[in-house]
Structure 1
Amino acid sequence: MAHRILADLLDRNDDHVAALSPGAFDGHHEGQRPGVVSVCCSDSRVSQEGMFAVEEPGVLFTSGAIGNAVSTVVDGERVLDGSVAYPLRHTHTEVLAVVGHTGCGAVEAGLDDPAVVGESEAEGSDGEGGGDEADSDGDARASVRDRLVEYNVHEQVAFARDREEAADATVYGFVYDLHGVYGDREGTVYLVNADGERDPEALRDLVGDARAGHVATLLKR
């Protein structure tokens, strides 16, 4: 089994090399200046480059963490994770994108610990893409889980914005929808937060009419 996986990885790399445009790494050999650092869950179903159709090098600095966490604990203090702080401080990256996803197992595990749930945040949906009222325990749990996914994105955005390393960055929060929870296009990213702004109407004004379909929320206001 491991040998087959190795062979598959090498074949996939051949495909990657063949797909690169001539001179793809020109201008990147001596360093990098990506416009965005993306923090996404490590879940295998969630491709950071794939969701934004990034195929060329030098565009996206990626950081994967269970539950798309932007922080880590050092000497008992919670700080911005180095994989996030580094591009913000040393590669002139101006945007931090925090990306949660529907069906997140890490967030679902938090359902067993009520202390992690903000009571007002975990109540109901505002009707934007949330579907019909859950009619079974499993559906109800999934519904709460996906609202907590969005709540977690807001928490990660708030933490990052409060750190010195991100003082000059714009911080966006997204949810990657694998299940058609927010709308009918699986694989769509939905903007839920922009530098602390969470109001859908304000976010739609920010992205403009052509991209308004990328704004939604499952949380009551």
Structure 2
Amino acid sequence: MTNKAFGLLISSLLFFSPVILANESAQFSEHVREFVKNMVLDNNKHVTNIAHDDFKLLSEGQNPRATVVSCSDSRVQTKAFNQSPVNDLFFIRNIGNQIKSAEGSVEYGINHLHTPILLIIGHSHCGAIQAALSDYSKESPAIRQELDNLHLPKATELNHGVVENVNQQVEYALNKFKHKIDAKELMVIGALYDFRDDYHQGHGRLIIINLNGEEDAKKIKADSIMKGLAVHTLE
């Protein structure tokens, strides 16, 4: 490359770089503004549509029925299985729907709020499980620390890994809260939210895969609590 051509190349880069940066900055601002706009509008609807008496009841304290440990994945949201989560779900989220990363929060829901249910929800094609099954050594220390809590054989197929992780989390809970389970004060339920229909029971299906350590589908359906309900299990 001649000196003249090199100079033209540098000049063009210097010219276009500020333009590119300006466009990226404008896109960033627009994305943030659009989110904040939606947030404000939705909150206005919330304030308008909910009776003030409901807020008065909430101001006195909380009384949820379930402590829920779910993945942070944005595709997994409460309305998929609970249309009225306010004061009903003590909701805890982290990558890989694991107890260890949020043990204090889980303890608070069960020991202080006395929820009779601990619901652990994994989901199809989980990115945290995919990472745990691969080499994540180049991730940040904080992410590595969370992924280190997921103990899965590297050769595991992804969706089998999702199931295995939920079962492991249930087992951890059974050991941790054994006294409450034995006293019939707590039931631990393991479930999958399948937005991809990977388990062939319908897009968006919540599938019960573990009930206090029981993984057999027929026995889960035959349980006195589940019997007669239209629960979906892994056959």
Instruction: Bin the TM-score by the shorter chain.
Output: 0.7 to 0.9
Distance 1:117 1:56 in 2: 32
Q: Matched residues, percent identical?
A: 29
Counterpart residue number, 2:20: none
Structure index of larger Rg: 2
Distance 2:98 2:229 in 1: 30
Counterpart residue number, 2:215: 198
Counterpart residue number, 1:28: 58
Preserved contact between residue 133 and residue 153 of structure 2 (Cα < 8 Å): no
Query: TM-score under structure 2 normalisation?
Result: 0.71
Distance 1:52 1:18 in 2: 25
Aligned match of 1:156 in 144, 147, 169?
Answer: 169
CA apart distance, 1:93? 1.0
Aligned match of 2:203 in 173, 177, 186?
Answer: 186
Q: Which amino acid aligns with 1:199?
A: D
Query: TM-score under structure 1 normalisation?
Result: 0.75
Q: Secondary structure at the match of 1:171?
A: strand
Counterpart residue number, 2:110: 88
Distance 1:27 1:99 in 2: 29
Distance 1:166 1:106 in 2: 31
Q: Which amino acid aligns with 1:108?
A: Q
Distance 2:96 2:105 in 1: 15
Q: Superposed, which structure 2 residues align to 1:4-43 within 5 Å?
A: 4-21=34-51, 23-43=53-73
Q: Secondary structure at the match of 2:63?
A: coil
User: Gaps spanning 5+ residues in structure 2: where?
Assistant: 1-29, 136-149
User: Gaps spanning 5+ residues in structure 1: where?
Assistant: 73-79, 123-143
Aligned match of 2:230 in 194, 211, 215?
Answer: 211
Find runs of 4+ consecutive structure 1 residues off by over 6 angstroms.
none
The total of aligned residue pairs comes to: 185
The answer to which structure has the higher helix fraction is: 2
Instruction: Tell me: higher relative CO, structure 1 or 2? Use CA pairs within 8 A at least 6 residues apart.
Output: 1
